Amino acid sequence: MACISITWLVYDRKAFTTEYQEEILRLKEEVILLKNRLKDANRHVKDSAKSISNGDKIIKSTLSNSIQDDPCNEERRAKVKNAMLHAWTSYEKYAWGQDELQPQSKDGVDNFGGLGATIVDSLDTLIIMGLEDQFQRAKEWVASSLNFNKDIDVSVFETTIRVVGGLLSAYDLSGDKIFLEKATDIADRLLPAWNTPSGIPYNRINLVYGNAKNPTWTQGNSILADSGSEQLEFIALSQRTKEPKYQQKVENVIKEIHRTFPADGLLPIYINPHTGIAQHSTVTFGAMGDSFYEYLLKAWIQGNKTEVVKYYREMWEASMKGLRGLIRKSAPSSFAYICEKNGNDLYNKMDELACFVPGMLALGSSCYGPGEAEKFMSLAEELAWTCYNFYQLTPTKLAGENYFFRQGEDMNVGISWNIQRPETIESLFYLWRLTGNKTYQEWGWNIFQAFERNSRVETGYVGLRDVRTGDKDNMMQSFFLAETLKYLYLLFSPPSVIPLDEWVFNTEAHPLRIVNRDAHPEALNVDQAQQEELNVDQGEKLPRHIHGRKEGRLD
């Protein structure tokens, strides 16, 4: 009996201590938020009083724009910032330096080779949200502990979009050279992956020895999205270092694909790196196909939409014709969806991953002529409605991983987990920016609330094993901080924060500044003013660099 009471007492004390610690964590977060509000308010006062001088140039701060806007947006933005702070603080406490946090077991896990993925993926989100102390700690970690000299095999794609992209974005936003140095170090280690007979990269590489290969489950093939989604990061790196080799490697890939590009612009997900020829496999805008199409459009935008980069746009437009051929409508509710294809067979299945498409269509539509532009925008809006319903039609109001469309049944969840993916919110962000329709903000807000209800735990944010039951998993994805929360924050921010005519987002939501692209990649001229802007010393005012000169509308 005594033994039971002691055990109970010990257990109870432990539970009490844990509860107590969690309360402290919560209070700490509140204190940080209050401090941040105070800082914002101080900045506002200072900014209304003066312009900020930057060397020779006087840049008028538009920070006050971001503060004086719709109170509802302001409140929602604060809630999203609170979510970021909660995610970040939990990561700092339980998984600092590791790739990702496992909130339920309160420890970390290295899913990307131990490169501190959550820290690197979060840098720009921390800057954009004005979480300066957190950003400083992250920056110190990058400077002192981010070490790429590791005898590990990594994914070329994941490392590029998260690490190279995250570091370059932090560099563009802060002007701190450490980020560019680190981005160059990791990119140099990835570069041998492109040394294949066709120039199509292998998808895995050892960071010390540079020996590259493809995973065994692809039968030696390279994956389309993995091979065709490094252009933005490597072109940006060449522009900032004036070293053409990065850009050359990734542009060769597109030129090689261009040689045999089909008229409908649709490629199967496997390509042979020896021949450069696509292999018989699935055509999809979801897993393993997705960001290849996204980067065709965005490399054209990054390249100032000029003659030199016209081939990207032409390839993208061909793919959009192909995409139209994959659109079907469900019955009875007429939800538009994107089929997958294998040979001549169409499959009535769509991944949530493909929900980036409405945003991409909205972003690319304005450069079509009249008539076509509206058609693409209207397709974007229809697809966004479908993606929103991926969320709304489940009991938790969070979307599953993919959906099947059977005649008479509209949509049914296939794989039923939710791993905090951002694609639908990303599209809502673009649609809101490009149409001004506040409905997209409302949809985003509803999705955010569903994350708060189902995914928020005392020690971070988890995914769901099943969106029908709400059963929780044990993982906080680094893209939740890099993408999901960032796009939500921007959805409730004025368009002058990261304007779309000055920045282009990589596929991990890292904004890269658009600079002048020279006709000859060897020269890589970034004009003097832009170079100064890119090299600008971080000084004391982080958020200044993220505001644009005008309200962001494309073209």
Residue ranges in contact with ligand DMJ by CB under 6 A: 290-291, 353, 421-422, 479, 483, 507-508
Question: What is the rounded CA–CA span in Å between residue 131 and residue 32?
Answer: 9
Active-site residue, from 47, 256, 381, 401:
401
Q: What is the 3-state secondary structure (H, E, C) of 456-505?
A: EECCEECCECCCCCCCECCCECHHHHHHHHHHHHHHCCCCCECCCCCEEE
Question: At 204, is the secondary structure helix, strand, or coil?
Answer: strand
- DSSP per residue over 67-111, as a string? HSS-HHHHHHHHHHHHHHHHHHHHHHHHHTTSSEEETTTTEEE-T
Question: Is residue 555 flagged as an active site residue?
Answer: no
Active-site residue, from 99, 100, 121, 158:
158
Looking at beta carbons, which residue is closest to ligand DMJ? 507
Residue 223 C-beta: closest distance to ligand DMJ, Å: 12
Of residues 229 and 247, the one with the C-beta less far from ligand DMJ = 229
Question: What is the rounded CA–CA span in Å between residue 339 and residue 442?
Answer: 27
Residue 531 C-beta: closest distance to ligand DMJ, Å: 29
Residues in CB range of 18: below 8 A, 6 or more apart: none
Residue 421 C-beta: closest distance to ligand DMJ, Å: 4
Of residues 420 and 538, the one with the C-beta less far from ligand DMJ = 420
Question: Hey, which residues does 470 pair with through a beta bridge?
Answer: none
Within 13 Å and on the Cβ side, how many CA atoms surround 317? 13
Question: Is residue 423 flagged as an active site residue?
Answer: yes
Alpha helices in 200-349 (DSSP H): 224-227, 231-241, 245-259, 290-302, 310-325
Residue 184 C-beta: closest distance to ligand DMJ, Å: 22
> Which tokens belong to 382?
């229809």
Of residues 47 and 473, the one with the C-beta less far from ligand DMJ = 473
Active-site residue, from 290, 340, 466, 508:
290
β-bridge pairing 402-405 and 349-351: antiparallel
For residues 207 and 113, is the Cβ–Cβ distance under 8 A? yes
Of residues 63 and 361, the one with the C-beta less far from ligand DMJ = 361
Residue 479 C-beta: closest distance to ligand DMJ, Å: 4
Of residues 194 and 295, the one with the C-beta less far from ligand DMJ = 295
Question: What is the rounded CA–CA span in Å between residue 119 and residue 142?
Answer: 8
Of residues 357 and 524, the one with the C-beta less far from ligand DMJ = 357
Residue 538 C-beta: closest distance to ligand DMJ, Å: 27
- Give, as one character, the DSSP assignment of residue 194: G
Question: What is the rounded CA–CA span in Å between residue 15 and residue 7?
Answer: 12
Nearest Cα residue to 486 out of 507, 456, 467, 460 = 507
Active-site residue, from 317, 423, 426, 483:
423
Question: What is the rounded CA–CA span in Å between residue 438 and residue 105?
Answer: 39
Cα separations (Å) of 16 from 1, 23, 30, 66?
22, 10, 21, 42
**Residue the block writes with tokens 């990054």:** 302
Residue 224 C-beta: closest distance to ligand DMJ, Å: 12
Of residues 296 and 536, the one with the C-beta less far from ligand DMJ = 296
For residues 512 and 534, is the Cβ–Cβ distance under 8 A? no
Of residues 178 and 491, the one with the C-beta less far from ligand DMJ = 491
Residue 485 C-beta: closest distance to ligand DMJ, Å: 13
Question: Is residue 401 flagged as an active site residue?
Answer: yes
**Residue the block writes with tokens 């990649």:** 521
Task: Report CA Rg, the chain.
Answer: 23
Question: Is residue 158 flagged as an active site residue?
Answer: yes
Catalytic machinery residues: 158, 290, 401, 423
